[in-house]
Structure 1
Amino acid sequence: MFQTFTETASPDQGPPRLAALRDKLAEAGLDGFLVPRADAHQGEYVAPRDDRLAWLTGFTGSAGWCVALGDRAAIFVDSRYRVQVKAQVAADFEKVDWPETSLADWIGAALPKGRLGFDPWLLSVEQHRTLSAKLPDVTLAPVGNLVDAIWPDQPDPPQGAVFAQPLELAGEAHQDKIARLAKDLTAGAAVITLPDSIAWLLNIRGSDIPRNPVPHGFAVLHGDGRVTLYMDAAKLADLGDHLGDKVTLRAPGDFLGDLAALEGKVQIDPATCPVAVAEALNDPEEAPDPCLLPKARKNAAELEGTRAAHLRDALAMVRFLAWLDLQPPGSLTEIAVVQKLEEERRATNALRDISFETISGAGPNGAIVHYRVTENTDRKVQDGELLLVDSGGQYVDGTTDITRTIAIGDPGAEETEAFTRVLKGMIAVSRLRFPKGLAGRDIDPFARVALWEAGLDYGHGTGHGVGAYLSVHEGPQRIARTGTVPLEPGMILSNEPGFYREGAYGIRIENLIAVEMAPKLYGQTVAEMLQFETLTWVPIDRRLIDPNLLTADERNWLNDYHRRVHELLTPHLDAATGQWLSDACSVI
């Protein structure tokens, strides 16, 4: 259930697997084949069976593509993974910076004409449309999955048990959600493919995807307030009569045939609907997944549960940090750090799972944004290094995600300045008041100004949406240059600016925040303003802060934050840990 540290693939396995794939290309009369990191449900996370990109190339990141041609192959990764991909993927695969170089631009140059195969379950309608428009002389050929054909020990499809999310935590009965969303449909029905959308709509959770409590399945929301759920009945054996008479269960094998029989317009989300699904429909109409925004706007029960989960998680984090400070430099490895932190979360007796593979990066490994320690990469945490720990827990009442960067021994002046500038950005977002209607792209620059002033920046977004005992990455809201969805009360996001010096160190500070209405100020002319509620209550390493770089307002925010951390957590700690916390929360 919890984290393991073995390699899932290695660079030397990539070339022979690529050669086997090319043999299949020749047999099928194709000039190339697309391998996305995706499954038929088009969510961010995939089950081991669907992790084809990792199996073929060795790359274990959460986003990317491979294009395999007869004489060339390339792997496309974004800025989070450009250090990681060098270590994981053989030189047979060109490393392409994506999205700076688009998939279509690279294919157009490498394959001006020809037949490019793809699995129609793994390409969304939107992705297919973009490629088709930009590659007029390339035929996109839907075929069976050629990676599956060469993967001899491919895992079986997941069959995790489904269970109900209690009403007191969900905050709204699923029958009421169904009725509410059905009324707003502009078509006669809507196809839902995202696992977390189905889980939220029906107040169920599952275990088909590691670290994410969601089940695999498909659903059709009908305009008359019914849902047809396509899921293996064996997974629902323990659910009892939870679904009720508004939900009809059908076998997954019936899905495409039932879609073809639907009359009238059927709504699909082009960003998440596979080509195979769209082609089965007689009259598809495009609109966003109807669950996305309602799921993102957490209700009072979901927010209260999230607050409780964060306090529980903060106590585990503080016990871990207090223990860490007692360990002599050089006595721990990255894996030992992960194991201790997981032990503290388990000790809460409320942990269902970790919310993602814990990132424990010491020194240069901290500069790998989504570093995952393995037995082969494990290194000691040495004196004078920074240790970046990004982790989280899945609790039945909420999902947590927190990053703390910790000084091991005495930090250098460069690291201290960079850390303080990252902290200034995190504080700027935390303190922000802004007019209702602004999106994440409008908020993102506030996290970067202090870094920009020193000629520094980071390549990832500042924040992602987070679910309520659902996926730790949840759309559609995000704080990033690409974040176009207006922020609304109830949305939970991460606030995690950073800085990374390749080959030396990484810095990231992350709290979760919730959007809320801001109280009206005297003389305010803006009709409605929003602000952020802080959800994460764990001290920030004062040894890495240069107070001279902080303004008075920033020092006040930090001191108030630490005062609140101390007040909330101290009553639940033993004397020794409480003393450590008191020192860690001292006034700056």
Structure 2
Amino acid sequence: MRKQLTALRRKMKERGIDIYIIPTTDYHGSEYVNDYFKCREYISGFTGSAGTLIVKQDFAGMWTDGRYFLQARQQLEGSGITLMAIGERGVPSICEYLSQMPSGSVVGFDGRIVSSKLGESLEGNYNIVYDIDLVEEIWEDRPDVVPSKIYSLPPEVTGESSESKLVRVREQMGSSDFFLVSRLEDIAWLYNLRGRDIEHTPVFYAFALISKNSETLYVMDEEYIMSSEKGVRPYKDVFSDMEKLRNCAVILDEDSVSYAVSKCFHSSVERILRKSPVERLKAVKNKNEISATKNAHIRDGAVMIRFLYWLKNSIGTEKITEISLADKLEKLRREQGAYDLSFDTIAGYEEHGAVIHYSATEESNAVLREGGFILIDSGGQYEDGTTDITRTIALGNVDDERKRNYTAVLKGHIALATAQFTEDTTGADLDLLARKPLREVGLDFKHGTGHGVGHMLSVHEGPNNISPRSAESHIIPGMITSDEPGVYLEGEYGIRIENELLCIEKDGKYVFETITLCPYERDAIDISMLTEDEIRYINRYHAFVEETLSPLLDEPERVWLKRQCKDI
């Protein structure tokens, strides 16, 4: 059992806490967080980006989704914490599990990081203690949040002034007096500002309070506060300012506002919990954002070609590990102008590729050999866009079963990329298209098919989403969404193919334009499984990749790319 879990239980007993809840987020509902907020990871040892830990004296459970089942099972072994696989038969949801607790139980959590939605669901049945951070009391070397420098983006990559964006947000506020913006990506987009408070996600810790005729930005960066003429205040002042509001209506983002923030208002204040008005505005990219993003993908495509050329020609002649491979790819991206990755590179060789969000460690770091699959999911943060791409690479001869599985994934990938649909089509409808070719051969995958991608922001963005749970999500022109079906055979290998798709309108229908540029693994394709339309799609895509990227490559790389992109 982890000593951190034992120490936490000791503190719970001292404070009279029966149940303690630790989610994976910060004060803003973020998916990726500053090291200071990695409380769940500190207690459990589980490093995935999604999960909620619930601790009692006689039980501890980690609720996480299908992306992390294998990883969580491995990392939680011997920890004293049970994996609670969300969606699996017999596994209660968090709310269902908590509903089984005796009435009057004392439930504790840090209300600044627990969502308003979860916190309010516990009211009435339990004694809630939400002004307590037990992890802080036992985490001796907890890192600090060191505020980064906030900087502005040029209009050529934003395409719209902050003043114009604020006007559009105010139009969405209706008769409400205020809107408290709590999601970091929303604030960064709204003000055309970026920071480095979270690794790989260029945001800064902040709140923004928008009224009909003014706005206040609360930030940690003291230099930015000093250099601003008005409307910028210290981050810590947001709570006291909210407590001063009286006789007004305030919009709160139901997906990111914390329980502590939602409870700080005076009883005369009407709290309106709804989807952030910024979220949908941000997801629909303007012409400048689209043009900038495409440019970033072209340079990222050149990186991928250089990387694949190196890998294919180096395997078997030099020692390459999962970690050294990821380091090589990062080096190439930085040489091409990326100032950061968009997330930690996933490089899983053979059985590690079956762990959907695998992260190599010094202990697990596999040496690549001739033969087998290496799954590489990676991306970069450029000064004009954010990229996310997955390719599964064959490192030698490919047997018939692997070709069948790879081609089934490719068919699902193409089915989504070539979809024609209407504004009424949901993300769940599109998800079925990508799964159909896989299910026809008895395969499936335990994650969504696609997520929104931010513009110089988080690599995961809503509201656009393609998954079985996206019955309320719609993809509309201007949105950029990933296309990434896969197959994961535990103990053997994994396959995933991912491009980014821009939704556009054509001949009265919605269609996708692929903006990721990198050939598929032709050595793993079983052409006999493809239809004529699928073959035409692959050949057209490869021709476009070669035409676009060749001018950025050296002669040996151009020759290699031409060979990879010739018609199948």
- TM exceeding 0.5: yes
Contact 1:497 1:509 in 2 (8 A): yes
> Shift of residue 302 of structure 1?
0.3
Corresponding residue of 2:7: 20
The answer to whether residue 200 in structure 2 is matched with residue 217 in structure 1 is: no
> Shift of residue 113 of structure 1?
5.3
Corresponding residue of 2:418: 431
2:560 & 2:426 partners in 1: Cα distance?
39
Corresponding residue of 1:311: 298
Corresponding residue of 2:542: 562
For residue 286 of structure 1, give the secondary structure of its aligned residue in structure 2.
strand
> Shift of residue 236 of structure 1?
1.9
For residue 323 of structure 1, give the secondary structure of its aligned residue in structure 2.
helix
> Shift of residue 235 of structure 1?
5.1
1:183 & 1:580 partners in 2: Cα distance?
53
Q: How does 1:426-505 map to 2 (within 5 A)?
A: 426-483=413-470, 484-505=472-493
Q: How does 1:336-375 map to 2 (within 5 A)?
A: 336-348=324-336, 350-375=337-362
Corresponding residue of 1:584: 564
> Shift of residue 108 of structure 1?
3.5
Distance 1:82 1:233, change over 3 A: closer
Range with greater deviation from structure 2 (327-336 or 256-265):
327-336
Corresponding residue of 1:6: none
Structure 1 counterpart of 2:96, one-letter code: D
The answer to whether residue 237 in structure 2 is matched with residue 254 in structure 1 is: yes
Q: Deviations over 1:279-315 (max 9, x none)?
A: 1123211221121000000010000000000000000
Q: Which runs of 5+ in 2 are unaligned?
A: none
1:292 & 1:343 partners in 2: Cα distance?
33
The answer to whether residue 375 in structure 2 is matched with residue 388 in structure 1 is: yes
Contact 1:463 1:494 in 2 (8 A): yes
1:405 & 1:482 partners in 2: Cα distance?
26
* Count of aligned pairs between the two proteins: 557
Range with greater deviation from structure 2 (23-32 or 399-408):
23-32
Contact 2:315 2:368 in 1 (8 A): no
2:323 & 2:552 partners in 1: Cα distance?
27
Corresponding residue of 2:399: 412
Structure 1 counterpart of 2:114, one-letter code: L
Q: Deviations over 1:436-481 (max 9, x none)?
A: 2322111100000011001110000000100111110011111111
Structure 1 counterpart of 2:249, one-letter code: K
* TM-score, structure 2 normalization: 0.95
Contact 1:322 1:580 in 2 (8 A): yes
Range with greater deviation from structure 2 (176-185 or 529-538):
176-185
Contact 1:127 1:271 in 2 (8 A): no
> Shift of residue 335 of structure 1?
1.1
Distance 1:227 1:381, change over 3 A: same
Corresponding residue of 1:266: 250
2:153 & 2:111 partners in 1: Cα distance?
33
2:18 & 2:118 partners in 1: Cα distance?
19
Corresponding residue of 1:118: 109
Corresponding residue of 1:162: 150
Distance 1:131 1:557, change over 3 A: farther
Structure 1 counterpart of 2:153, one-letter code: Q
The answer to whether residue 508 in structure 2 is matched with residue 508 in structure 1 is: no
Distance 1:23 1:538, change over 3 A: same
Corresponding residue of 1:288: 275
Structure 1 counterpart of 2:548, one-letter code: L
1:370 & 1:353 partners in 2: Cα distance?
19
Structure 1 counterpart of 2:456, one-letter code: Y
- 2:386 corresponds, among 388, 399, 404, to 399
1:422 & 1:164 partners in 2: Cα distance?
41
Corresponding residue of 2:191: 202
> Shift of residue 240 of structure 1?
5.2
Q: Deviations over 1:319-355 (max 9, x none)?
A: 000111101338311112111111111111x211010
Corresponding residue of 1:89: 76
Contact 1:116 1:140 in 2 (8 A): yes
1:93 & 1:232 partners in 2: Cα distance?
35
Distance 1:318 1:240, change over 3 A: farther
- 1:179 corresponds, among 167, 183, 194, to 167
The answer to whether residue 552 in structure 2 is matched with residue 533 in structure 1 is: no
Corresponding residue of 1:10: none
For residue 280 of structure 1, give the secondary structure of its aligned residue in structure 2.
coil
For residue 558 of structure 1, give the secondary structure of its aligned residue in structure 2.
helix
Q: Deviations over 1:498-545 (max 9, x none)?
A: 00000110000000011111224xxxxxxxx21111110101110010
The root-mean-square deviation of aligned C-alpha atoms, in Å, is 1.6
Structure 2 counterpart of 1:257, one-letter code: S
Range with greater deviation from structure 2 (47-56 or 181-190):
181-190
Corresponding residue of 1:571: 551
Identical pairs, percent? 37
Corresponding residue of 1:139: 127
2:510 & 2:97 partners in 1: Cα distance?
42
Q: Deviations over 1:128-161 (max 9, x none)?
A: 23444xxx64333313111111100001013111
Range with greater deviation from structure 2 (506-515 or 81-90):
81-90
> Shift of residue 99 of structure 1?
4.2
Corresponding residue of 1:276: 260
Contact 1:15 1:90 in 2 (8 A): no
1:271 & 1:585 partners in 2: Cα distance?
43
Corresponding residue of 1:127: 118
Contact 1:387 1:408 in 2 (8 A): yes
For residue 435 of structure 1, give the secondary structure of its aligned residue in structure 2.
coil
* TM-score, structure 1 normalization: 0.92
Distance 1:229 1:203, change over 3 A: same
